[in-house]
Amino acid sequence: MSDPAFALTRALREALLAHAPLTTLLGGAHVFDERPRGANPPYVAFVAHEVRDWSVQQQKAHEHFVTLEAMTARRSRADAQAQASAIEAALEDAALTLDGHTLVNLRLIFWSVARMKNTDHYGATLRFRAATEPTI
C-alpha cells in the first residue's frame, strides 16, 4: 500500500498543474514540492503536510493538513489574492485520484495574504484539510 501523504500530495500537485487559470497566473508550471531555492516567483510550493490517524472501528483512515504557499512576482496584494483564489478553485472539493487511497473530502480551512519579510513580494498561505481512506 502506498503512503497516503505522498499519494495526496502528488494528486494535489497534479490538480494544481492542470488548472489553467492558476498556471496562467504563475506563467507556467511553477508548482513545487518545496520552496524552490533560487527560483524566481511567481510560484506555489508545498510547505507542510501534517497527518493524523482518523481511523474508525475497523477502517484505517487519515486526516491531512496541507499548507501551500503562493509567492507573487511583484509587490501586489491583488496578485496574491488572485493566486489564492485560483488554488482554492483548483482544489476545493476536487475529485482527486490517489494511488492506493480514496479521498473522502478536501476543504480549504484557512488562507491569508501578507507581504513577505525582506522581499518586495506578497505571499498567500493556504491550509487545506483532507480525509483519506485506503482503497480496499
Cβ proximity of 102 and 131 under 8 Å:
no
Alpha-carbon gap, residue 28 to 26, rounded angstroms: 5
Report percent pLDDT > 70 for the chain.
99
2-58: pLDDT as tens digits: 899 999 999 999 999 999 999 999 999 999 999 888 888 999 999 999 999 988 788
Residue with cell 495574504: 113
> Omega of the bond prior to 42 within 30 degrees of 0, cis?
yes
Closest CA to 75 of 38, 135, 118: 118
pLDDT score of 1 more than 60: no
pTM recorded for the entire structure: 0.92
